[in-house]
Amino acid sequence: MVFEVLKGEEMEWPAYLDEYEKLVIRMNTPRVVIDNAVCPTATLIQVDSARKHGVLLEAVQVLTDLNLSIKKAYISSDGRWFMDVFHVTDQFGRKLTDESVLSYIEQTLETGSAPKAFGGRAGDGLMALELTGTDRPGLLSEVFAVLAELQCGVVEAKVWTHNGRIACLLFVRDEGSGEPIEDAHRIHRVESRLRHVLKDDDGVRGAKAAVSSLAVAHADRRLHQLMFADRDYEHPSPSPAAAAAPAAPSVSVQNWIERGYSIVTVQCWDRPKLLFDIVCTLTDMEYVVFHGTIDTDGDKAQAHQEFYTRHKDGSPISSEAERQRVIQCLQAAIERRASEGLRVELCAADQPGLLSNVTRTFRENGLLVTRAEISTKGQMASNVFYVTDAAGQPADHNAIEAVRQRIGIGTACLKVAEEQWLQVYRKAARTREEVQSGGGLGLFYLGNLVMRNLYNLGLIRSCS
Residue 46 belongs to some domain of the structure: yes
The torsion defined by the Cα of 28, 29, 34 and 38, in degrees rounded to 10, comes to -30
Instruction: Say if CB 361 and CB 407 are below 8 A apart.
Output: yes
Q: Which residue from 452, 77, 72, 63 is spatially nearest to 289, judged by alpha carbons? A: 77
For residue 216, give the CATH number of its domain.
3.30.70.260
What are the backbone angles phi and psi of residue 158, rounded to the nearest 5°? -135, 140
Task: Clarify whether residues 361 and 323 are in a common domain.
Answer: no
Task: Clarify whether residues 346 and 331 are in a common domain.
Answer: no
Residue 432 belongs to some domain of the structure: no
CA angle 168, 352, 164 (to 5 degrees): 25
pLDDT at 298: 63
Which is more confident, 418 or 222?
222
Q: Is the pLDDT at 169 greater than 50, yes or no?
A: yes
Average pLDDT over residues 382-400: 90
pLDDT at 29: 74
Task: Clarify whether residues 347 and 288 are in a common domain.
Answer: no
Neighbours of 306 (CB within 10 A): 22
Task: Clarify whether residues 221 and 353 are in a common domain.
Answer: yes
Task: Clarify whether residues 86 and 27 are in a common domain.
Answer: yes
Q: Which residue from 249, 272, 262, 263 is spatially nearest to 328, judged by alpha carbons? A: 249
Residue 437 belongs to some domain of the structure: no
Query: Which is it for the CA torsion 219, 155, 121, 208, positive or negative?
Result: negative
Q: Is the pLDDT at 2 greater than 50, yes or no?
A: no
Task: Clarify whether residues 59 and 28 are in a common domain.
Answer: yes
Q: Are strands 208-211 and 250-256 parallel, antiparallel or unpaired?
A: unpaired
Task: Clarify whether residues 15 and 97 are in a common domain.
Answer: yes
Q: Is the pLDDT at 327 greater than 50, yes or no?
A: yes
pLDDT band for position 30 (cuts 50, 70, 90):
confident
Query: If you ran DSSP here, which 8-state letter would residue 440 be given?
Result: P
Which is more confident, 378 or 118?
378
Task: Clarify whether residues 152 and 216 are in a common domain.
Answer: yes
Residue 209 belongs to some domain of the structure: yes
Q: Is the pLDDT at 452 greater than 60, yes or no?
A: no
Q: What phi-psi label fits residue 227: left (phi over 0), alpha (psi between -120 and 50 degrees) or beta? A: alpha
pLDDT band for position 5 (cuts 50, 70, 90):
very low
Task: Clarify whether residues 251 and 219 are in a common domain.
Answer: no
Which is more confident, 448 or 113?
113
Question: pLDDT tens digits for 53-90?
Answer: 888 999 999 999 999 999 999 999 887 788 999 999 99
Q: Is the pLDDT at 147 greater than 70, yes or no?
A: yes
Question: pLDDT tens digits for 300-318?
Answer: 678 999 999 999 999 999 9
pLDDT at 118: 46
Task: Clarify whether residues 126 and 232 are in a common domain.
Answer: yes
Structural domain of 202:
121-236+339-416
Q: Which residue from 417, 367, 142 is spatially nearest to 241, judged by alpha carbons? A: 367
Which is more confident, 459 or 108?
108
Residue 429 belongs to some domain of the structure: no
Residue 423 belongs to some domain of the structure: no
Q: Is the pLDDT at 335 greater than 90, yes or no?
A: yes
In order of 177, 209, 267, the CA distances from 167 in angstroms are 28, 10, 26
Question: pLDDT tens digits for 14-29?
Answer: 555 566 555 555 566 7
pLDDT at 462: 40
pLDDT at 427: 57
Task: Clarify whether residues 107 and 206 are in a common domain.
Answer: no
Contacts 24+ apart (CB under 8 A), 270-274: 270/296, 270/297, 270/301, 270/302, 270/303, 271/303, 271/337, 271/338, 271/339, 271/421, 272/64, 272/67, 272/69, 272/91, 272/419, 272/421, 273/64, 273/220, 273/337, 274/303, 274/305, 274/334
The answer, as to whether pTM is greater than 0.85, is no
Give the number of domains in the chain.
Answer: 2
Which is more confident, 286 or 403?
286
Q: Is the pLDDT at 104 greater than 90, yes or no?
A: yes
Q: Which residue from 75, 31, 78, 74 is spatially nearest to 461, judged by alpha carbons? A: 78
Averaged confidence pLDDT in the chain: 81
Residue 433 belongs to some domain of the structure: no
Q: Is the pLDDT at 463 greater than 70, yes or no?
A: no
Which is more confident, 200 or 160?
160
pLDDT band for position 407 (cuts 50, 70, 90):
confident
pLDDT band for position 240 (cuts 50, 70, 90):
very low
Q: Which residue from 189, 202, 222, 199 is spatially nearest to 133, judged by alpha carbons? A: 199
Q: At what angle do helices 99-111 and 55-65 cross, to 10 degrees?
A: 160
Q: Is the pLDDT at 196 greater than 70, yes or no?
A: yes
Residue 434 belongs to some domain of the structure: no
Least confident of 259-273, 314-328, 335-349: 335-349
Q: Could you tell me what percent of the chain has a pLDDT over 90?
A: 55
Task: Clarify whether residues 125 and 230 are in a common domain.
Answer: yes
pLDDT band for position 338 (cuts 50, 70, 90):
confident
- Contacts with 99 (C-beta within 8 Å, 6 or more apart), sequence order: none
pLDDT band for position 9 (cuts 50, 70, 90):
very low
CA 46/CA 152 separation, integer angstroms: 45
